Amino acid sequence: MFKKLDFVIIAVLMLLSFLPEIILGASVGKGFNNTYAEITVSGKLYKTVPLSENKGEKTIEIKTKEGTNIIKIKDNKIGIIEADCPDKVCMNPDYIEKPGQSLVCLPHKVMIQIKGTSEDDVILSY
């Protein structure tokens, strides 16, 4: 039914299917000098928190009519450590730190996005 060459071709194709993940996965979050977190509540910017130069711990409490979220900034990471929403999915990844990552609490309409700027962006914008 299957020949030896068929298994070799299938194995090569399977290995090639992981190539984009290897290339793109290694480049996510690289080359950013300044990272910051944008906290939005109900689609409006609530606060921008610089992460690259942040040392130590800091907490931010967000109270809305939907509920309360407590956000903790620890060194160059940010995370939701306490929420009174029913499912608490927003607390699953403890902390995020790389540009492109996000945390969302849907019941409370709170979103945290990590963004970054690099020196290349400044050069290309002029």
Per-residue pLDDT of the chain (126 residues; tens, 9 = 90+): 778 898 999 999 999 998 887 777 665 555 556 889 999 999 999 999 888 877 888 999 999 898 999 999 998 899 999 999 888 888 887 899 888 899 999 999 999 999 887 654 444 443
Rounded (5°) CA angle 24-25-30: 90
Q: Both tokens of residue 116? A: 């970054």
Cα–Cα distance measured from residue 90 to residue 11, given in angstroms and rounded to the nearest whole number: 38
Rounded (5°) CA angle 56-59-63: 170
Cα–Cα distance measured from residue 23 to residue 104, given in angstroms and rounded to the nearest whole number: 27
| Cβ atoms within 10 Å, residue 105 | 25
Domains of the chain (ranges plus CATH)?
33-124 (2.60.320.10)
Whether the model pTM is above 0.85: no
Q: Both tokens of residue 96? A: 């995020």
